[in-house]
Amino acid sequence: MLPPSRREFRDIYIIFELMESDLHQVIKANDDLSPEHHQFFFYQLLRGMKYIHAANVFHRDLKPKNILANADCKLKICDFGLARVSFNDTPSAIFWTDYVATRWYRAPELCGSFFSK
């Protein structure tokens, strides 16, 4: 799969696992999901958030459309376009911007007067 030399290496391909839908579509479909499904979804989200926060990554646009789902009810967090990485233990004001994607999913401290630039 690798070219014979670095000079011939021109293209990079990234292959991801197939995720057929997103959490927004799952919720919108209004299928009768059991409490166990909800618990499994919540557990996966908590694990994913714990993982990225342990790496000092702040997603900043977490919403149902940015959570992919597959037929096995496995979830993957996606769209890290607005994410920020902290190289300290505490994020500073430089991380936050005036506009962080979807208003309805913003943290309360960003919407209220609790946060100052």
- Helix (H) or strand (E) run with residue 75 in it: strand 75-77
Tell me, yes or no, if 32 is annotated catalytic. Answer: no
Classify residue 98 by burial, with Cβ atoms within 10 Å: 0-12, 13-18, 19+: exposed
Segment 14-34 mean pLDDT: 90
User: So what's the pLDDT on residue 82?
Assistant: 83
Specify the residue for token string 């030399």. Answer: 5
CA distance 48 to 77: 7
Classify residue 90 by burial, with Cβ atoms within 10 Å: 0-12, 13-18, 19+: exposed
Query: Which has more confidence, 17 or 100?
Result: 17
Enter the pTM of the model. Answer: 0.72
Q: What are the tens digits of pLDDT across the range 55-102?
A: 999 888 899 999 999 999 999 999 998 888 888 765 555 555 555 556
| Catalytic option among 61, 72, 79, 89 | 61
Q: Domains, the chain, ranges and CATH?
A: 20-111 (1.10.510.10)
Question: How would residue 1 be classed by pLDDT, with cut points 50, 70 and 90?
Answer: low
